Amino acid sequence: MDTTASKEKKARSKRAISFYRQRLNAEIRKIEATSSAKETAGKAIGKYGLWFITIIVIIGVIASIYLDHDKIAAVMGLLGSSLTALISLLASIAGASEKEERPEFTVIRELIDKLDVEQRDVPMSVDVEEGHVVVRRGDDVVTTKQTGKQ
């Protein structure tokens, strides 16, 4: 009788474990479905990125064994640059490094903002008279004269 009871208990515990496993898998799929593309890319990089880097390093080691001394420098340079490019690509996809804004764009934005503020504050007037045009904006005055006949 003990064996029947223990078999029944094992069967119930297996069903319970199976139920909770399915429930956890459903929760994991729900979390993965609501994750952003950036999070998904970060997970993929975590799974596969290190393998790609390792493969490139192994290629470099094998190349150093079989190549002549004259050719190793060129191959190592190529492998180093490809590793650097791959790492920066993976970091930018995962969002680990913020993109730096180019300084000229920052300066241009500041100038545009400054011009917008200045243009709103200073009134402008244009007087058209026979033979010339006078443009006034704040303290600046520009006068044009007619140079030829129309």
User: Worst-scoring range by mean pLDDT, 8-22, 38-52, 57-71, 93-107?
Assistant: 93-107
Q: What secondary structure letter does DSSP report for 68? A: -
Question: What pLDDT is stored for residue 43 in this prediction?
Answer: 75
Average pLDDT of the segment spanning 83-92:
80
When pLDDT is cut at 50, 70 and 90, the band that residue 141 belongs to is confident
**CA distances (Å), 100 to each of 37, 103, 104, 128, 149, in order?**
21, 9, 12, 48, 55
Question: What pLDDT is stored for residue 7 in this prediction?
Answer: 83
CA 123 to CA 111: how far, in whole Å?
Answer: 19
CA neighbor of 147 nearest in space, from 131, 133, 134, 135: 131
pLDDT: which is higher, 116 or 112: 112
Strands 140-145 and 132-137: antiparallel
Average pLDDT of the segment spanning 23-30:
85
- The residue extents of the domains of the chain are 1-34, 37-99, 103-145
Question: What pLDDT is stored for residue 97 in this prediction?
Answer: 55
| Residue-wise pLDDT tens digits, 68-79 | 888 888 888 888
Average pLDDT of the segment spanning 18-43:
80
pLDDT above 90 covers a percentage of the chain that reads 0
When pLDDT is cut at 50, 70 and 90, the band that residue 122 belongs to is low
